[in-house]
A and B are shown apart, each in its own frame.
Chain A
Amino acid sequence: MNSAAGDSIIRARGLRKVYQTGKVQVEALRGVDLDVPRGEFLSVVGPSGSGKSTLFHIIGGLTPPSSGEVIVANRNVSAVGDNGRTELRRKYVSFVFQKFNLLPNLTARDNIRTALYIAGLPADRFDPAFVTILDLLGISARLDHKPSEMSGGEQQRVAIARALATRPAILLADEPTGNLDSSNSLAVLNVLGDLNKKLHQTILMITHNTEAAAFGHRIVHMRDGCIA
């Protein structure tokens, strides 16, 4: 897949992020340029401390960059405030985390409904297209179970379903197989691949696992806050 800048759903230029830890400044990103075309499944690979999680957080609107520009789904994330980033998360990007991050006191169905409710979408019943996604994920029969009643693989598939429920422009996955055994890892990666192929879902996956990264169309390597 080509990285045509004009059709980029994610476009970062000179992205820098500096964290202040006590009196020490830590430069997590040192001028990252990145283009992600719509519909791409991009893997970002790098060791711990390479800056891939920081890049993930900035693209997802969880934290602002210190400098540089990042445009996500035609929104200049670097120019908006907290409310703008909240809107980005609500409408345009969704997350899948290593630790699943499901609300533990809610069933799978209510976890999904919560995301729909926050996005301002009808939450009473799932539309047929989303039911198809649930079938694809293989969790239709597990919707009335709480996270504590599900395996890690099931929880991660529920997290993916919750992330997709709001029809985000971009699905951001941070080490989605990090807490799974090999068979569940494979299942989740296959699901992400299927979602990308069948629904043309743009996916940006952060991982340190090169085998997992291979499921993407393209692999970007990061080291010391830069794209190698």
Chain B
Amino acid sequence: MILKLVWENVRFRPVRTLLSMLLIAVPVTLILTLIGLSRGFLEDSTKRAEGVGADIIFRPSGSSLLSFSGAPMSDRFVDQLAKEPHVVAATGVVMQALGGTFDSVTGIDPTQFARLSGPFTFFEGHGLEKPDDMLIDQYYADQRHVHAGQDLNVLNRKWHVVGIVEPGKLAHLFVALPVLQNLVGATGKVSAIYLKLDNPADTQMVIDQLKAKYEGYPMYSMKDLEASYSVTNVPLLNGFIHAVMGIGIVIGFAVVSLSMYMAVLQRTREIGILKSLGASKSFVMGIVLAEAFALGLGGTIAGIVFSFGTRALMHALMPASLPQAIVPEWWWIAGAIAMGAALLGALYPGMMAVRQDPIEALAYE
């Protein structure tokens, strides 16, 4: 019967119910979108790392696992490492972050790079030939509405886009390695070196041998690198997500409190009727909380649906820079936050309802 009462209550004022659910959906959407962006960004990075086709990544001394921008390591290591036992191919890259976006431009040696990852699949145009040539992947091309043959201004320089390639190979933007080295003042330097082995099963053994020889230079298997692309491994991201969750809780709490406060005010007379029928305090509180739960559930479902909408929007507007994943395991967390905020927010209005004088409530117009 309580369910029936709650259902009829939420049905009886559809506009208020809809508005409340929409408002609760806002923090849910916010959380799921930002989590989805974080996850999408990491998944995209993982996929692109896999696309290199390497087994080991060799990093400059003192570098961290997930920081790539800059070129502090001599490119002489590329030739040395290529001659190490079990190494069949090696390529050095320079990565330079683009200011104001999450993207970076990557300098590659096309021949060496192809030995690891295989040739690019071209949707348009051809490979790098001239110093100001640039390859971009399909996501970036969609994002910037660029086709092969057009120019693109990146790093304060005009580049000629000569090819649109299939996404998933290390980066979204590629230029010739020496050009980028000169441009960023890192002639003869690289950001990282990728190694391909004759037998991937020997990766750990080769890493151990290389570590003994190149002391102080971090190196990881690509599987370790891919595994490290998680939210918890990025301290700032983790803090950011917690901040978003906090904002979600505060917004959810405020929204539901206001919504339930209005609901209790609107139903003052009905609460008086229930009290005249002998409804206990727990019964009245139960109805208010059950309604908050229903609104929270509706808002959560709406928020989940909206997160698909934000993904579609991100994909349409910035597929390369803001790849958003759908993260179902966070549906429950975002839902729990919304429901928790809804129930907490309904407590005060619920207490108001419980304390209402039945005579005054029955006289309420």
Contact B280 A101 (CB under 8 A): no
Does B65 lie at the interface of the complex (its beta carbon under 8 Å from any beta carbon of A)?
A: no
Binds A, one of B1-9, B18-26, B39-47, B330-338: B1-9
Given A63-B359, A89-B277, A106 and B8 touching (CB < 8 A)? yes
A60 to B276 CA separation, bound complex (whole angstroms): 9
Cβ-based interface call for B274 (8 A):
yes
| B277 proximity list for chain A (CB < 8 A) | 89-90, 94, 114-115, 118-119, 162
Looking across the interface, which residue of chain A has its beta carbon closest to that of B276? A95
- The answer to whether B12 and A87 have CB atoms under 8 Å apart is no
Residues of B contacting A63 in the complex (Cβ-Cβ under 8 angstroms): 357-359
Residues of B within 8 A of A88 (CB): 278
Q: Contact check, A87 vs B269: say whether CB atoms are below 8 A apart.
A: no
A70-112 CB mask vs B (1 if < 8 Å, else 0) is 0000000000001100111111001101000111111000100
**Residue A215, interface by CB 8 Å:** no
B164 to chain A, nearest CB (A): 59
Is B283 on the interface with A (CB-CB < 8 A)? Answer: yes
- A86→B9 CA distance, assembly (Å): 23
Q: Please measure, in the bound complex, the distance between the C-alpha atom of A87 and the C-alpha atom of B280, giving whole angstroms.
A: 8
A25 vs chain B, min Cβ distance (A): 18
A126 contacts chain B at the CB level, 8 A cutoff:
no
Inter-chain contact A105/B9, CB cutoff 8 Å: yes
Q: Could you say which residues of chain A place their CB within 8 Å of the CB of B273?
A: 101-103
Instruction: Say whether B84 faces chain A, with CB atoms less than 8 Å apart.
Output: no
- Closest-by-CB residue of B relative to A57 is B359
CB distance from B261 to the nearest CB of A (A): 19
For window 349-363 of B, CB contacts with A under 8 Å fall at: 357-359, 362
CB proximity of A16 to chain B, nearest CB, Å:
17
Residue A208 CB within 8 A of the other chain: no
Contact assessment for B275 and A86 in the assembled complex, using a CB-CB cutoff below 8 Å: yes
Q: Is the interface of B mostly helix, strand, loop or mixed?
A: helix
Question: Are the CB atoms of B8 and A119 closer together than 8 Å?
Answer: no
Chain A 112-144 per-residue mask, 1 if CB under 8 angstroms from chain B, else 0: 011101110001000000000000000000000
Partner of B1 from the list A95, A101, A113 (CB cut-off 8 Å) is A113
Contact A101 B278 (CB under 8 A): no
- Provide the bound-state CA to CA distance between A105 and B266, in Å: 13
A147, B362: Cα distance in complex, Å? 17
Contact status A86-B359, CB under 8 Å: no
| Chain A residues with CB under 8 A of B4 | 106, 110, 113
With beta carbons under 8 angstroms apart, the residue of B9, B283, B357 that contacts A118 is B283
B interface residues (Cβ-Cβ under 8 A, vs A): 1-2, 4-5, 8-9, 11-12, 269-270, 272-281, 283, 357-359, 362
| A–B Cβ pairs within 8 angstroms, 13 of them | A57-B359, A63-B357, A86-B280, A86-B281, A89-B275, A89-B276, A90-B279, A101-B269, A105-B12, A114-B274, A114-B277, A118-B274, A118-B283
Knowing that A101-B272, A162-B277 are A-B contacts, what are 19 other residue pairs whose CB atoms are under 8 Å apart, sorted by A's residue number?
A57-B359, A60-B276, A83-B280, A86-B279, A86-B281, A88-B278, A89-B277, A90-B277, A97-B362, A101-B269, A102-B273, A105-B8, A105-B9, A106-B8, A110-B8, A114-B274, A118-B274, A119-B277, A119-B278
6 A-B pairs with least C-beta separation: A90-B278, A105-B12, A89-B278, A117-B1, A105-B8, A101-B273
